[in-house]
Structure 1
Amino acid sequence: MKKNFSGVGFLRHNRSHRSRIAIEYYAINYQRLMMIDESQKNQQIMALLSQAKKIAGQYQSLTGKPLGITGEIAEYEAARILGLKLAEARQAGFDAIEYREKEAVKLQIKGRCIHNIKKTTQRMGSIDLSKPFDAVLLVLMDANYDVLAIYECSREKVIEALMSPGSKARNERSMLGIKKFISMSIIRWERPALPGGIDVDEVISSDLSILD
């Protein structure tokens, strides 16, 4: 006599179907949870950066010296404003990645604070040409570590400027003057001038020692 397994087959099929639904449900909710966690993490980081900005500004006012967190603030502000993905800590050559038409552009990020335009003598930090990067971002900030503007210059233009003769800082230390960098760059983001604050145009048009 032939046995009928149709009922068993149906149960197995139904169990398999429920399992797939359960897996899909947990996968979707896991992704949502990860998104929430990432969002909460970013909120906590921005809250900490806000505190760090105030402390750094107070430290600068009291001692006349920077606290040494300009680079970290510049990286996170650039990522927040431009929607970049920050690289892992101690990633050689670049600090963030920006996806443009599915292409990953590696960005090296430099930050500078302008505390007093009449006393500004800063250049950008050293740019290591031996490391992999596609472009350099300069995040220019005011005395409160709030972003004034973000500029981008391609690797090719940076190399050309650093290799051109006439400046020891450029040729030996791979450091560019801020105005020199800005003159070769495109503006990625710019803050409107605020009453009583430093105007970006003031920095760019200045004839002070900020120039290269």
Structure 2
Amino acid sequence: MTLYAADKLIAQARVLAAEYRRTMGKPLPGISNEIAEYDAIKLLQLEPKPTGEGGYDAVDSKRGDKLIQIKSRTIFDESKSGQRIGQLKLDKDWDSVVLVLMDEDYEPYEIYEAERDDIIEYVGKSSSNRAKRGAMSVARFKIIGRLAWTRENGFEPEVWDNQAD
């Protein structure tokens, strides 16, 4: 599949997912993760994981073959608190997690990155059973992590330094 074909399919998936939610009143299961993975790989210039590998979704070869788990959250109502991200795979091999935040049209507007050590430290200090299982709120992830990309500015250079060749 060519990059053009993938871009076109993802664009169609965005439209379908947004229209499905508007019509059915609930999100189309699984679609936001697929879109977010595609966006993170493209926007952060990552490489997809090799087929069959588990625990992570992409590799950043420009930062020492860093293994990256990709999570997503589509924010339909910013006034609602308590938005949660999917469970982190704490028992798997990965170096950091990127969280792709998308708007109601499934377009990315911010990407945050949190290092494994920082996440493990939070989980270890937390008394929450949810945290011990790898569940976390978007707000907590933003506190632990750092902004890596925005729709307005692209890469946040002081954070995401994979531009050196």
TM-score by length of 1: 0.67
Q: Does 1:76 align with 2:4?
A: no
Counterpart position of 1:182:
142
Shift of residue 89, structure 1, vs aligned partner: 4.5
Change (3 A) 1:122 1:89: farther
- Conserved? CA contact 2:82–2:137, under 8 Å: no
Alpha-carbon displacement from aligned partner over 1:111-138 (angstroms, at most 9, x marks no partner)? 1100111235421111111110000000
Q: Give the alignment's Cα RMSD to 1 decimal.
A: 1.7
Which aligned segments of 4 or more residues in structure 1 are displaced greater than 3 angstroms?
none
Is the counterpart of residue 137 in structure 1 residue 81 in structure 2?
A: no
Q: How many residues align?
A: 152
Q: Deviations over 1:48-80 (max 9, x none)?
A: 000000010011111221112111100100111
Tell me if structure 2 keeps the 8 A contact 1:152–1:188: yes
Distance of 1:156 and 1:169 partners within structure 2: 18
Task: Calculate percent identity across the aligned residue pairs.
Answer: 34
Q: Distance in 2 between matches of 1:182 and 1:61?
A: 28
Cα deviations by residue, 1:74-106 (Å, 9 ceiling, x for unpaired): 0100111111101134531100000135x1000
- What does residue 16 of structure 2 align with? 55
- Provide TM-score, normalisation by structure 2: 0.86
SS at 1:88 equivalent: coil
Structure 2: 5+ residue stretches without partners: 154-165
Deviation at residue 184 of structure 1 after TM alignment: 1.5
Could you say what secondary structure the match of 1:126 adopts? coil
> Greater strand percent: which structure?
2
